[in-house]
Amino acid sequence: MDIKYLKGVGPKNAEYLRSLGIYTIEDIFYYFPRDYEDRANTKKIRDLKDGEIVTLIAEVALINGTRKTQTGKNLTSIVFKDDTGFITGIWFNQPYIKKTFKVGEKVLLYGKVNRRFAELQMVDPKYEKNFDNNDENSVGILPIYPLNKYLSQKTLRNIIKNALINKRELLKEILPKRILDEFNLVDIQTAIDNIHFPKNKDMLNKSIYRLKFEELFLIQLGLQYYKKSINSDLSAYNIPLSGRLKELKEKLPFELTNAQSRTIREILLDMKKNKPMNRLVQGDVGSGKTVIAAIAMFNCAEAGYQAAMLAPTEILAEQHFSSITSLLKDFDLNIALITGSTTKKQKEKILTDLANGEIDIIIGTHALLQENVEFKNLALVVTDEQHRFGVRQRATLVSKGHNPHVLVMTATPIPRTLALFMYGDMDISIINELPKGRQKVDTYFVRSTMRERVYNFIKKEVMEGRQAYIVCPLVEESEKIEAISAEEAYDFLVNNTFNGNDKIVAVLHGKMSNEEKDFIMQKFKEGAIKVLVSTTVVEVGVNVPNATVMVVENAERFGLAQLHQLRGRVGRGSLKSYCILISDATNKEAIDRLTIMTKTNDGFVISEKDMELRGTGELFGMRQHGLPDLKIADIFKDIEILKTTRDLARRLIEDNMLEKDEFEPLRIKIESMFKEKIDITTFN
């Protein structure tokens, strides 16, 4: 029901409420306080103790003027009294305060008490004027709402109170009684009453618990409900273990790590079932995910089915194609590559061969998603670096097969809590082990005055046969003074560091044609180019184990996850490697971020920190995944509730409980929450 139908909300307030994202009366119930002030125990001035936080009801006794302190601040003081004593309110640099009070008026003060010599003071107390002893809003545990400048706390409190009294019937319980009982949850009306105007701390806590529970539960239930409606009677390709897996393992150029073997085992077992696999493989940078994709695709092809792998960039598609071809070279499989650069003629042949089943494995970019790409029997879809793909794109590829198995690989480590949350019942494998012989990448954070020394260090490594990356942010013309562009870095290297030798240094940037980029990348891989100066084109997945130095210019412009990805381009073999972050940043957040990089090489730790700094929503685009924002729960702090609700959701879905009458309100709620079903379905 539109907020304007609430008694006492005129057109102006309705507009202000809309500016806070409150459109309906239901919204207002769910507009939760960001904090509370405990004013439950008002005290007399005589009983105040130094350091305690209290609520007082007092009268304005004396309005002193404003004076300058020794440190140059404006200090305004006002004396308040009750029938037991006096206390002075002090405000810094708010001279207008003295005009807000009138001698003799009653106010409510809330703040921390200081005893200075014989005088009691409160610095910058919160206050409420026109105070009436009977005003329930003002005594007790008071809600503090997130507000903008249009509405006062008091007005909003009154509006909410009003809604709770006059429109309570709009608050309907959606959780069935048996769930309330089983988990000891308070009913919805009690919860909403107490989240806004808590009777006491205990009721507040119970209400918070109930609302967090509801929030996380609805999301988990929604995810699983839709997954089931898609997956329930899907029969998938039942792919047996190939008799040649052992031979393949023996022919690999390295021994698999335990984590790789475990992940492969999990994948092969999934593909043997007649339910489509739905697995996320998370491996830190350089942990060796490509070989896992290769083995899964091999097993699929050996059974006579087709497998496809989707890569986010052309450079990566080519790299995967060449690594996978080389890993599987002793087996008679037809492996193809399709990208934007594939010629028309080649493409025609590929399309025909795919459609009639000649091609066993195809690796490609977005070109794979085009409508005219058809498969004979696509049974496995692998996508690399999922965050680069819109969920819809992945769905497009999946739809080219008949319930194919899906394997999603990501190098962006997602903390387990978030994975639990975002992927509902997706199975997760974690490669938490790097191949043997890898050394920690030494990471330094330096100022730009060190640039020349850093470049000389690159020269030293190049002399020893190694290679280096220098990554520069993309800079606009107008930002030139602050940031060094790739071209400038290139000029400096060629002219100063390498005394005019322009053969071994190259620039790579997004504006170049694909051929140019490929040509340079190829030369770098072969080792002819020693130093690659680039914009972030190298960010994801590039594998050149001979590279030992990664320099990031204006490093403050990159997010933590991105810096970790960039650093992951070195230290990919057994050679000692270095990452040098150059930045003149002065703001604390940027310095914190760069310092974290110097302290840890662990992608999981880094992504947790990243989330602390930036918040989960922004990092993983919750909305992009079709997930609603969280209003009250916190996926880190509320991990226990998350697990409980996830298990409950699973159980209810498995037992088809949502079909029952008592669950109908819940089902309707979920259906309205997850209107865009496609975003959920693509996780299958």
Ligand X SMILES: Nc1ncnc2c1ncn2[C@@H]1O[C@H](COP(=O)(O)OP(=O)(O)OP(=O)(O)O)[C@@H](O)[C@H]1O
Long-range CB pairs of 493-501, under 8 A, 24+ apart, other chains included? 493/455, 493/458, 493/531, 493/533, 496/452, 496/455, 497/452, 497/455, 497/456, 497/458, 497/459, 498/459, 498/531
Instruction: Select from 33, 288, 415, 424 the one that contacts ligand X (CB under 6 A).
Output: 288
Q: How far is the CB of 429 from ligand X (least distance, A)?
A: 12
Alpha helices in 285-375 (DSSP H): 290-302, 314-327, 344-355
Backbone conformation region of residue 499, classed left if phi is above 0, alpha if psi is from -120 to 50, else beta = left
The residue range among 289-297, 332-340, 470-478, 480-488 that interacts with ligand X, by the rule CB under 6 A, is 289-297
Residues 572-601 that bind ligand X (CB under 6 A): 572
Residue closer to ligand X (CB basis): 291 or 632? 291
Site for ligand X in 130-149 (CB under 6 A): none
- Looking at beta carbons only, is 151 or 411 nearer to ligand X? 411
Cβ proximity to ligand X, 272 vs 576, nearer residue = 576
In the region spanning residues 247 to 276, those forming contacts with ligand X, defined by CB under 6 A, are 254-257, 260
Instruction: Give the nearer residue to ligand X in terms of CB position, either 313 or 393.
Output: 313
Tokens of 85: 């004593």
568 touching ligand X, by CB under 6 A: yes
Least separation in angstroms between CB 431 and ligand X: 7
Q: In the numeric block, which tokens belong to residue 300?
A: 């699929």
d(CA 460, CA 193): 69
Q: 181 is written with which tokens? A: 């009982």
Q: Which two tokens stand for residue 616?
A: 């989960």
* Residues in region 397-416 near ligand X by CB under 6 A: 411
Q: How many residues bind ligand X (CB under 6 A)?
A: 20
Classify residue 349 by burial, with Cβ atoms within 10 Å: 0-12, 13-18, 19+.
middle
Give the range of 238-246, 279-287, 470-478, 552-560 binding ligand X by CB under 6 A.
279-287
Binding to ligand X in span 179-218, by CB under 6 A? none
Which positions from 146 to 185 touch ligand X by CB under 6 A, shown as an x/- string? Answer: ----------------------------------------
| Binding status of residue 665 toward ligand X by CB under 6 A | no
**Residue owning tokens 């669950």:** 663
Q: Does 681 bind ligand X (CB under 6 A)?
A: no
Positions 498 through 557 that interact with ligand X (CB under 6 A): 541, 543, 545
CB of 256 to ligand X, least distance (A): 5
Sequence-separated (6 or more) residues with CB below 8 Å from residue 32: 195, 196, 211, 631, 632
Stretch that binds ligand X, among 19-27, 282-290, 596-604, 645-653 (CB under 6 A): 282-290
Q: Return the structure tokens found at 13.
A: 């307030």
Q: Which residue is nearest to ligand X (CB)?
A: 288
Closest CA to 434 of 292, 577, 283: 283
Q: Is the alpha carbon torsion for 366, 370, 376, 378 positive or negative? A: positive
| Least spacing, CB of residue 554 vs ligand X, in Å | 22
- Closest contact distance (angstroms) between CB of 385 and ligand X is 8
Centre a 10 Å sphere on the Cβ of residue 133 and count the other Cβ atoms it contains. Answer: 10
The residue (of 288 and 473) whose beta carbon lies closer to ligand X is 288
Q: 191, 211 in Cβ contact below 8 A? A: yes
User: Which residues are near ligand X by CB under 6 A?
Assistant: 254-257, 260, 283, 285-291, 411, 435, 541, 543, 545, 568, 572
